[in-house]
Structure 1
Amino acid sequence: MNLEKLKQKGRHRLRFVKSRYLKIFGGGVLFIFTASAWYGGKPNLPKPDADNGGLYLPDGFRAVVVVDSLKGRARHIAVNDNGDIYVKARFHNLNGGYGNIALRDTNGDGKMDIIQPFGKYDGGSYGTAMRVHKGYLYFSSELMVYRTKLNPGELIPDNKLDTIVADVPPYHEHQTKPLAFDNKGHIFVGWGAGSNAGQEKNRVPGSKGVGDPLSADNGNPLLKDHGGIWMFDADKLNQKQGDGVRYATGLRSIVAMDWDPKSKSLYTINHGRDDFRLLWPDIYSQWESAVLPAEEFFKVNQGLNGGWPYYYYDQIKGKKLLNPEFGGDKIKEGDGPKLQKPLIGFPAHFAPNDLLFYHGKQFPERYRNGAFIAFHGATNRAPYPQAGYIVAFVPFKNGVPSGEWEVFADGFAGVDPIVSVSNAVYRPMGLAEGPDGSLYVSDTEKGKIWRIMYPGDKKAFNVSQLAAMQKRKETASNIKNPDEVADNLFKDLPKNSAIYSTYCVSCHQRDGKGDGNRFPPLAQSEWVYDKFRLVYVILNGLKGQVTVKGLPYNEIMPAHGSFLSDEQVAEVATYVKSNFGNLPEIITPADVARIRKVPPPPSAAN
């Protein structure tokens, strides 16, 4: 097919051109693939799944599952200009030790039939970024930002791995390294802070915050080199944090970040802090802890201060309030009014994990000036249904939201209500735009990827086609604000789980299965079989990487022995041992008192 002759004849609706290449991979296996490109007009879209891959979408949108179960699961994703998909693997150890996955559709049916792991480097389950930028594939582990060259027509990039930015060990919570690029050769890198709220003792009830929120010289030490965004040269190798410019501060945990070329601005959504009720039960009710604080959507001008760890945003009151660690009482504002308010305060614990400004033309006009957000869903809503697990859309005009946020895709979790995080079948994580304007969404739990398309008449699309999604926003238990009484799922729990429901359920979940990433399972866990080790960890806490049921975890388990009595520790340990499919065993206060006095067993340090 001669493209130049077709153009000379005035054929402006050439929709689909197939280019065939040959590529030989290790082991002498020969693959033939087909890459697709579009030249004006409407793209030749693949046939959607009859059930849209289980998703609820606005009327007229359709979806196809491009891959159903990646062994390494998935974090962020990127789509190259020929339709190849690149995936940041969530678990290297389940992916043959590789940190990345390359996918290709060879016959144009929308399904990825080549799945090729590649790229060996150190990294855990928080390794995040995967972005295509100017012929390179950029990606990150918790500590490093890498890039490798993409060669035209080849699925697997160069073996040569360039280090762009290097962080220093040790690894800590919220260390994710999301990436964004501006139009001046800069790369922005998020630097999460390894703390919930800047406490002296992280996540320990009543522990005060470190630093003076009113003093620039006596602030929280984490803000010196964490809790913000740094700007670097996108092409310079082996940069350290000190080689970059601190672009923004006061941001606790950043996973979703993108540059909008229309407004020439950087945007991010900050994860709000956790555990109001657990840490400050005299101040916050269970309901307040479930619905506060907001996930904050910021336009990031250089010098932005988001206010963490001193302040949180109460989206109900529309105010920045002082955190209780620094003397807050739900009323005190301190210098909160001086801080930049977020563009939107999203509901608490939705877990914004990716942000994408849409540039394509496949979708109807209303989507061409706005941002999609993947809400992964968090763990901190108990005793109410867990929330998030959606893709939202925010319409934009002149660089700011021009209307309320909308539910664009729901149904990932597959259950209603989501009592525990582990109940969710899928959790949306990464977003990417294809060369034809399709929206791709990745999942962390099974390694599934959807391609969302609009095959209908774009001119006929109107607000009436959003009605069903608006109803979901108002009524679905994973989206709406819960009713304080009617939606309390734990109101009938037996008394012997009172300690668990207060101090343990937000991390390990009601079903004891954890969240599969940050917090390990108690259900049939080897860490629960030995009552000595179970009680010791409850009393003294745990930090550093551990392996539970074959998967790595690296969150801090706070020491509960300083504020729980022997009777309370015995109660919760007995509850854990007697539930979640574990072997029942009664642990007495005398057992706990004895374990308090002995040094840690070797197994507790592993």
Structure 2
Amino acid sequence: MPSKLTYRYRMSKLICICMFLAFCSRNKQPPLPAGDPGNGGLFLPGRFEAVVVADSIGRARHLTVNTNGDIYVKLTFNDIMHGRGGTVGLRDADNDGKADIITYFGDYKDEGGLPAGIAVHNNYLYTATIKNIFRNKLKKGQLVPDSKTEIMLTDDDEHLRKHWHTAKPFAFDNRGNMYVPFGAPTDAAQDINMAGPAGIPGGKGLDPAPDLEKYAGIWRFRADKKGQTQKDGHKYATGIRSVLAIDWNPMDNSLYVAMNGMDNFHTRYPQVFTAWQAAVLPAEPLLKVTEHSDFGWPYAYYDHMQGKNVLQPGYGGDGKIIGRAAKFDVPLMGFPGHWAPMDLLFYTGDQFPERYKHGAFVAFHGSTDRSPYPQAGYIVCFVPFEKGKPTGNWEVFADGFTGVDTVFNTSDALYRPMGLAQGPDGSLYISESNKGKIWRVMYKGNRKAFNANDLTAMEQRKSRTYIKTPDEIKDNLGLGGEMNGLILYNSYCASCHQRDGRGDNNRYPPLAGSDWLNNKEQLIKVILYGLQGEIVVNGKTYNGVMPAHGGFLDDHAIASIATWINKRFNNDNTLISSAAVAKIRNDSTGNGLSTAKNKTGN
């Protein structure tokens, strides 16, 4: 028998729970929990607070929140945590803002790649991989669904694994439809069989672009129909390169997306675009997608500084010519280039000040290819709307994810914002993809008293290197770029050394784990000047011919190739500088394009 003290304790706890439940029943939502000290590392406007719901749950992608407050998160890979599926269910049982229950589930497997898309809709949990969209029936009070997994949509493209932009985010309208992007398989409609998805320097786009028949658009499906493939859908819109940020705006009953623009203009077209132009262009545009709209990919791109569509250089553009770009639909506005919008959310709650019900939140994952300028993005912004349209300005809503003042390389960023979701009480949830941290953002102030003064501190944060427009001279870091190096390596090196860097086991030696390329100077010299004659790599003799590349590649290009080789094949995250290349180039004697054998003394 329990003691009287234990009995009284249990009874008092039960009474407290009953009072709490009664309060919640009368008021519909429990009181907001306390925010964390320092808001869990986030900088927010005015009287906003944040609490860390969970940390290190796995590399999180998108997330959704059920009507009872349960949170569901899609992970990068389904087998990443404990081998028990790639969806995470989280529940805060005592309303302290922290997840008390964290469980992994999901009996589906990704085909590789980066999945996106998860939502609670009509009492079903919809979850996407790159190949499928599934759903499971949710039962009241049940965190992990035990219902049979239904396959709603299958991407039956046999070339799916070779393509870029294969994620399947989705959005629902109020008429029973589901909208799903099918991303372009390449960056700018190159011949994928010749150059791979990234393309080659100076390469022209295919004309007409065959990708537009099955890709680079948004298809509409029935939300409740099982067993669909792409042919069962209706092609709703086209000319849209890649989308992960998608939402239905109930204010005007329209579909909106934030599109990822094309990459590496300077690497592909160095005679047309400077490195600075390639860092800030093209825009990541915000699109209002209506039926039959066409936003021009791959023939056009949006220049947010000029405020218009411009002809793409792969089709004869020079950064100014408009040409056939004039016939395409114009985006509502453009964000800076390469910020990588990952999620879009139109706020409909009553917790935040009224102004936030007239606009959209956008989560930016951050750039990978702004080199030699600082990488940028890595924030959550808010786009105010007036009279149903964006004002053209955007505000920093949540910052602090990078943990550093300057992001030299993408891996420098501590966190990368990924997903957005609205809770039943109007809280905003944010996920990040590096470690799997989840924040809950709440407003504790007087909603009617919120004004422009509450935004001043956040406006000042636009001066940070990962947010501001870089100065062409002062902000040039002079470091090789990983993404630039990928394109250049695949164009000039992969045919001999192979895309995996292991060589052909005959004439061309491996770069991965090479004991011959034992320092960065050796690597730079062989790219600059080439090589001929016998060399011994990892105990094996090779006698191929390595052509010199210094005559047609500039210092930044060579630094980028060397950076890519070191990082991709030898686990070295050091960024090689253009200055290091220039020093070796300028210090060399002779005719300039001698063999690396002579220059290195080997």
TM-score (norm 1): 0.77
**C-alpha deviations, 1:278-324, integer Å up to 9, x for none?**
01111110100001000010111101111111111111111211111
CA distance in 1, matches of 2:320, 2:88: 49
Q: What one-letter code is carried by the residue in structure 1 that aligns with 2:171?
A: A
Q: Secondary structure at the match of 2:109?
A: coil
CA distance in 2, matches of 1:330, 1:521: 35
The answer to whether the 8 Å contact 1:38/1:436 transfers is no
The alpha carbon displacement at 1:580 in A equals: 2.6
Question: Aligned pair in 2 of structure 1 residues 520, 159: CA closer, same or farther (>3 Å)?
Answer: farther
**Residue among 168, 179, 187 paired with 2:178:** 187
Match of 2:47 in 1: 60
Q: What one-letter code is carried by the residue in structure 2 that aligns with 1:83?
A: G
1:131 and 2:119 correspond: yes
Q: Secondary structure at the match of 2:108?
A: coil
CA distance in 1, matches of 2:61, 2:74: 5
The answer to whether the 8 Å contact 2:368/2:482 transfers is no
Matches within 5 A, 1:215-234: 219-234=208-223
**Residue among 576, 580, 586 paired with 2:572:** 580
Match of 1:480 in 2: 468
The answer to whether the 8 Å contact 1:34/1:106 transfers is no
The answer to whether the 8 Å contact 1:382/1:506 transfers is no
CA distance in 2, matches of 1:290, 1:280: 13
Q: What one-letter code is carried by the residue in structure 1 that aligns with 2:324?
A: D
Matches within 5 A, 1:115-194: 115-123=102-110, 124-168=112-156, 169=158, 170-171=160-161, 172-194=163-185
Match of 2:513 in 1: 529
Match of 1:203 in 2: 199
CA distance in 1, matches of 2:120, 2:105: 16
The answer to whether the 8 Å contact 1:395/1:401 transfers is yes
Q: Secondary structure at the match of 1:432?
A: strand
CA distance in 2, matches of 1:458, 1:210: 53
CA distance in 1, matches of 2:47, 2:246: 28
Question: Aligned pair in 2 of structure 1 residues 571, 320: CA closer, same or farther (>3 Å)?
Answer: closer
The alpha carbon displacement at 1:39 in A equals: 5.4
Q: What one-letter code is carried by the residue in structure 2 that aligns with 1:139?
A: T
The structure whose Rg is larger is 2
The answer to whether the 8 Å contact 1:427/1:445 transfers is yes
Q: Secondary structure at the match of 2:79?
A: helix
Q: What one-letter code is carried by the residue in structure 2 that aligns with 1:138?
A: Y
Match of 2:75 in 1: 89
Q: What one-letter code is carried by the residue in structure 1 that aligns with 2:467?
A: I
1:414 and 2:398 correspond: no
Question: Aligned pair in 2 of structure 1 residues 48, 207: CA closer, same or farther (>3 Å)?
Answer: same
Q: Secondary structure at the match of 2:419?
A: strand
The alpha carbon displacement at 1:126 in A equals: 1.1
Q: Secondary structure at the match of 1:184?
A: coil
Q: What one-letter code is carried by the residue in structure 2 that aligns with 1:280?
A: Y
The answer to whether the 8 Å contact 2:488/2:561 transfers is no
TM-score (norm 2): 0.78
Match of 2:324 in 1: 335
Q: What one-letter code is carried by the residue in structure 2 that aligns with 1:150?
A: L
The alpha carbon displacement at 1:581 in A equals: 7.0
The answer to whether the 8 Å contact 2:52/2:438 transfers is yes
CA distance in 2, matches of 1:297, 1:154: 37
The alpha carbon displacement at 1:400 in A equals: 1.5
1:79 and 2:65 correspond: yes
Question: Aligned pair in 2 of structure 1 residues 398, 39: CA closer, same or farther (>3 Å)?
Answer: farther
Q: What one-letter code is carried by the residue in structure 2 that aligns with 1:197?
A: A
Q: What one-letter code is carried by the residue in structure 2 that aligns with 1:61?
A: F
The alpha carbon displacement at 1:192 in A equals: 0.6
**% same residue:** 47
The answer to whether the 8 Å contact 1:380/1:506 transfers is no
Matches within 5 A, 1:64-463: 64-70=51-57, 72-97=58-83, 98-123=85-110, 124-168=112-156, 169=158, 170-171=160-161, 172-200=163-191, 201=195, 202-211=198-207, 219-402=208-391, 404-463=393-452
Which 5+ residue runs of structure 2 have no aligned equivalent?
Answer: 1-15, 490-498, 503-509, 528-545, 577-583, 585-593, 598-602
CA distance in 2, matches of 1:531, 1:184: 62
Q: What one-letter code is carried by the residue in structure 2 that aligns with 1:156?
A: V
CA distance in 2, matches of 1:74, 1:51: 22
The answer to whether the 8 Å contact 2:183/2:243 transfers is yes
Which 5+ residue runs of structure 1 have no aligned equivalent?
Answer: 1-16, 21-32, 212-218, 509-518, 540-560, 592-606
Question: Aligned pair in 2 of structure 1 residues 442, 334: CA closer, same or farther (>3 Å)?
Answer: same
**C-alpha deviations, 1:391-448, integer Å up to 9, x for none?**
1111224431145211100111111111110000001000000010000000000100
The alpha carbon displacement at 1:528 in A equals: 2.7
Question: Aligned pair in 2 of structure 1 residues 43, 210: CA closer, same or farther (>3 Å)?
Answer: same
Matches within 5 A, 1:493-512: 503-504=484-485
The answer to whether the 8 Å contact 1:566/1:590 transfers is no
Question: Aligned pair in 2 of structure 1 residues 306, 107: CA closer, same or farther (>3 Å)?
Answer: same
**C-alpha deviations, 1:539-581, integer Å up to 9, x for none?**
9xxxxxxxxxxxxxxxxxxxxx999479989988777559937
RMSD: 3.4
CA distance in 2, matches of 1:263, 1:573: 48
Question: Aligned pair in 2 of structure 1 residues 503, 264: CA closer, same or farther (>3 Å)?
Answer: closer
The alpha carbon displacement at 1:386 in A equals: 0.7
Question: Aligned pair in 2 of structure 1 residues 34, 91: CA closer, same or farther (>3 Å)?
Answer: farther
Match of 1:594 in 2: none
Aligned length: 508
The answer to whether the 8 Å contact 1:54/1:411 transfers is yes
Q: What one-letter code is carried by the residue in structure 1 that aligns with 2:422?
A: E
The structure whose residues are more often helix, as a share, is: 2
Match of 1:511 in 2: none
Moved more, 310-319 or 163-172: 163-172
The answer to whether the 8 Å contact 1:35/1:106 transfers is no
The alpha carbon displacement at 1:73 in A equals: 1.6
**C-alpha deviations, 1:74-103, integer Å up to 9, x for none?**
000000111110000112232234121101
Runs of 4+ in 1 over 6 A off after TM superposition: 17-20, 33-36, 505-508, 519-522, 531-535, 565-575
The alpha carbon displacement at 1:340 in A equals: 1.5
Question: Aligned pair in 2 of structure 1 residues 574, 105: CA closer, same or farther (>3 Å)?
Answer: closer
Q: What one-letter code is carried by the residue in structure 1 that aligns with 2:168?
A: K
Match of 1:8 in 2: none
Q: Secondary structure at the match of 1:335?
A: helix
The answer to whether the 8 Å contact 1:36/1:83 transfers is no
Q: What one-letter code is carried by the residue in structure 2 that aligns with 1:147?
A: R
CA distance in 1, matches of 2:171, 2:273: 36
The alpha carbon displacement at 1:261 in A equals: 1.1
Match of 1:44 in 2: 31
Question: Aligned pair in 2 of structure 1 residues 520, 481: CA closer, same or farther (>3 Å)?
Answer: farther
